[in-house]
Chain A
Amino acid sequence: MSVQYKAGAKLVSTVCDGQILVLRVPAVPVDLRIGGAPVVLASAVGDKTAIDPALSGGIQTGKRYTDEAETMEFLCTKGGAGTISVDGTALGIKAAKALPSSD
């Protein structure tokens, strides 16, 4: 199920505790899932289904997830057992250079 998302949208998993915040998405609909099941808006109530074992690597609070070409980016605001996937491909953690605290 492909949906056009917008930056700032809060999405929740229907198979685990995972929650994500959309930071950047392409201007086309994508099939966005956590743990193999489509995500739903934080305000919606989804049908609880089973996690796909192939997409159960989990996500961690505070990590940013992106595709290989970095056309999209999601912030995990609550960790969960499911992996984020877009159009069938699992997303990876965005590597960020560690910076010294400047504040």
Chain B
Amino acid sequence: MNLFTLLEMAADAMGDRVAISHGEHDLTYAELLVAARRAAARVRAAGATRLAYLAVNGPAAPVALFGAALAGVPYVPVNYRLTDTEIAALLARIPGALLVSDTVAGAGAVAGITPAELLAAGAELAGDAPDDERGIAVELFTSGTTGAPKAAILRHDNLMSYILGSVDFMGAEADDASIVTVPPYHVAGISAVLSSVYAGRRMVQLPAFDPADWLALAARHRVSNGFLVPTMLQRIVEHLGDTRPDLPALRALAYGGGRMPPAIVERAMALLPQVDFTNAYGLTETSSTIALLDPDDHRAACAASDPALRARLGSVGRALPTVEIAIRDEAGVPLPAGAAGLVFVRGDQVAGEYHGLGSLLDGDGWFATRDRGWLDDAGYLFLDGRADDVIVRGGENISPGEIEAVLAEHPDVRDVAVVAVPDEQWGEGVGAAVVLCAGSAVSAEALQALVRARLRSSRVPQLVRFVDALPYNETGKLLRRVVREQLGG
């Protein structure tokens, strides 16, 4: 299988529909197909073995993704926010690539081309895309929040399985449009392109997120859909205050990519009552979404008085029909509903593979996400942080998530991160970095008392430090390593 099939089908069935809006420019599916064939011809002419992309989101990103597929080489989007040194280190790992960038010229074994040059008129590579068994579609460098970035491998079969299993071909209305503001180097940036093309939903590209720009662009293009990482939705909600935005065409917003405080979701639902909210949970290694909390789940949870049902607003929903999710303990033994452990996932879209490390799937095809969590008796998945973030206090495993959830309920707390801090007696202790709402004042003792009243005494943060903001990367991932350093870990 080859991803290029998705674009061929779209161009064949709805060639005149607009695929991409960027600034004042529109590109139809027929034009996107031609542009991808030109990009593939450029890859072949350069004798390149990869097509790398180092730029903000623009029409050249989808063109490069499909062009690489047709040329039969991996597409490698690189994070443009990295330092020059970090970028050079990543480029050294992809010799033979053709690099699309307007800021970094080719270097060493990497040849360079600008996005405009990639899109320029030229020869097209005719014919069918190669159907190499287990061909690699995308190589994505993980964010490396805990170490050197790993190069995750996503094969055509993985991504095709995700798209065919979760997206209806031409399922979008002719005037639907999705605002895309996740960067191209994030797995959600890849899946946004593939899903939108297969559904026939116009992509409105917003290269740099800003809440006011997002709202203005969504209004101008009568956007119907969108995907946001949690910090983006939070910033939109805060930007709006008590004012409901005038977005009559907006029907659906999905969010994911990190921990989302339920209070923000409730606030967003109140501000946008006509919008369907979907929480999507997935990883780079799983070709994006593996579980969904759908709009009905959101409404049911908000309306519920039963605490167990209400709590589902904080869950990431249930597994896709094509995916299995299981919880296991540290020894690999499956756990029943309600028991917290490690989240495992299985399905054709699950790649679980890195360059240099090979496949990390076990003999039965299960992938260890390294996320901690538990399933309720109806199969709703609740996440509880990363396995690596667990605080080990005197042999007792403490999950930061449950303490953060309690602290986040305090009306004066805007954001909070709980991490391990050094402790002479216990080895590790509980530390909390707390961001207060503007103009609020609350004592560390009051927050400690709140935790003591709700959880066991071992959960009470021995260190509470008030900070102006928590360190997130640009796609909303909390940099716990940095918090640990700030708290003296």
Contact = CB atoms under 8 A, between A and B. Distances in A.
B256 A21 contact: no
Contacts of A43: 128
B8 A77 contact: yes
Interface in A51-99: 61-64, 75, 77-78, 96-99
The list of the 7 closest CB pairs from A to B, nearest first, reads: A62-B169, A102-B280, A103-B195, A102-B289, A100-B278, A103-B191, A8-B131
Interface residues of A: mostly helix, strand, loop or mixed? loop
Interface in A1-48: 7-10, 21, 23, 42-43
A99 B254 contact: no
B202 to A, nearest CB: 13
Q: Is the interface of B mostly helix, strand, loop or mixed?
A: mixed
A94 B390 CA distance: 43
Given A21-B5, A100-B254, A75 B278 contact: no
13 contacts: A8-B133, A9-B131, A10-B131, A64-B164, A77-B9, A97-B321, A99-B166, A100-B278, A100-B295, A101-B199, A102-B166, A102-B278, A103-B178
Contact of A103 (B131, B196, B320, B321): B196
A98 B225 CA distance: 16
B210 interface: no
A99 B254 CA distance: 12
Interface string B244-259: 0000000010101000
Contacts of A63: 169
Given A21-B5, A100-B295, A102-B278, 18 more contacts: A7-B157, A8-B133, A61-B13, A62-B9, A64-B164, A96-B165, A99-B166, A99-B167, A99-B320, A100-B254, A101-B195, A101-B254, A102-B254, A102-B256, A102-B289, A103-B195, A103-B196, A103-B280
A43 B169 CA distance: 25
A64 B133 CA distance: 21
A96 B484 CA distance: 45
Interface in B134-179: 157, 164-170, 178
Given A62-B170, A100-B254, A102-B254, A8 B1 contact: yes
Which of A9, A77, A78 gathers the greatest number of chain B CB atoms within 10 Å?
A77
A43 B256 CA distance: 42
Interface in B172-223: 178, 188, 191-192, 194-196, 198-199, 201
B360 to A, nearest CB: 23
A100 B276 CA distance: 9
B12 A61 contact: yes
B292 interface: yes
Contacts of B191: 103
Contact of A61 (B9, B131, B157, B320): B9
Contact of B168 (A9, A10, A62, A103): A62
